[in-house]
Structure formats: C-alpha cells, structure tokens
Copies of this chain bind each other. A is one copy, B any other.
Amino acid sequence: GEGGVEIDELVRVPVVRLAIGEVAESSVVVVLPVCRAEGREIELEAAPWECGMEGNFGIVQAEKGWKQWVVLPGWSPVVPLKRGGVVVAFPQARGVLPWKGKRRDADEEVLVVADRGRKEVEYDDGFYLVVSGGNGSGEEGLKVERGAKLKEMGVEKSLGTVVLVVRPPREEMDDQLGDDAWE
C-alpha cells in the first residue's frame, strides 16, 4: 500500500522485496547515495549526508558530489531519513546478513538502507552496520550485525542503524509455473 512495507522477516528491521516497476507505485520516491560494501567505513562516511529533494521537480540537492545513487519507492522506514541516510550495496546476502539457517536467497544481492545519524548500538534486536573481516574470516568490508551480538562483544558504536533491507525483484514474472511444479 501507499508508503507501507510488507514485512517478510520476523526481525526488527523490515526486509522487503522490490517488485518490478515498483519505484513507481508510490507517489513519493527517495534518492539515496550508494556505497559499495568493499568500500568499508571510509566510503560510507564520505557519501553525502544531506541529499534533500527540493522544489516542484524534487531535484536532489546533495551537499557534495557523488557517483552512485539509487531511487527507492517512498517506503515508510526510508522517507523520514533526513540527514545521513545511505544505501550499502552487497553483492551477496550470505555472510553479510545474519540469517538463520540455509536460505535459497542467500546468494542474492541486497541493498541495506542505514541511518548514519544513529550510530549507537541501542536495541538487542536491532541491526547495525559494522566493519567485518580482516581476521581471516573473509574479505574486509561492511556487514550487518545484531545489536545483541555487538553488545556481547562490548561494541557500543556502529557505523549506522539499519532501517530497511531491500531484495531485488524476482525474475519469475513471465514464468507462471514455478520450478516446483515440474518435479
């Protein structure tokens, strides 16, 4: 619905799947700067903090130049981001999002929308952007971690609070019979 988000994960952060053409369906769109997860906190902090849309045409006025941008539907968790909103593009959800168990969609790319203005690790069941790796467990970069785990490790500050996770549109639209139907 208008500005609403359908939650498909029982976590405090809504995880939504973008529908094909959906950037369209709300009367509001939001434009946010995009960082690569491999760019770590340097790129994350460098991305412009002020990116308001102004005037009758909604022209994005960023405080500084930036190369990568994304247009998202005006989903309710995203619209209130006034300063510090940012999107991190992860090539794979696996190893980045703390999913439980094996998931078929773990190799999908995901966008993580975060609020850099809220760095404090506040809620146990909240999700936060942190730097990962460099300890042999994988490549250095950004990842998403639960508040409870960060608190256990004594981490009080994150790079930002995750407000939304966006999955790519499904490409099954012209394939009315799913794979399951053919077994």
Number of A interface residues in the complex (CB < 8 A): 36
- In the complex, the count of this chain's copies comes to 2
Verify B20–A27 contact, CB threshold 8 A: yes
**Using Cβ atoms and an 8 Å threshold, which residues of chain B touch A55?**
109, 168
Chain A residues 1 to 56 lying within 8 A of chain B, measured CB to CB, are 18, 20-21, 23-29, 31, 34, 48, 55-56
A67 to chain B minimum Cβ distance, whole angstroms, is 5
One of A57-65, A122-130, A142-150, A151-159 contacting the partner: A57-65
Verify B62–A67 contact, CB threshold 8 A: yes
Residues of A within 8 A of B (CB): 18, 20-21, 23-29, 31, 34, 48, 55-71, 89, 109, 111, 166, 168-169
Could you jot down 11 A-B contacts, CB within 8 Å?
A21-B27, A23-B58, A31-B31, A34-B59, A57-B109, A59-B68, A59-B70, A60-B69, A61-B67, A64-B65, A65-B65
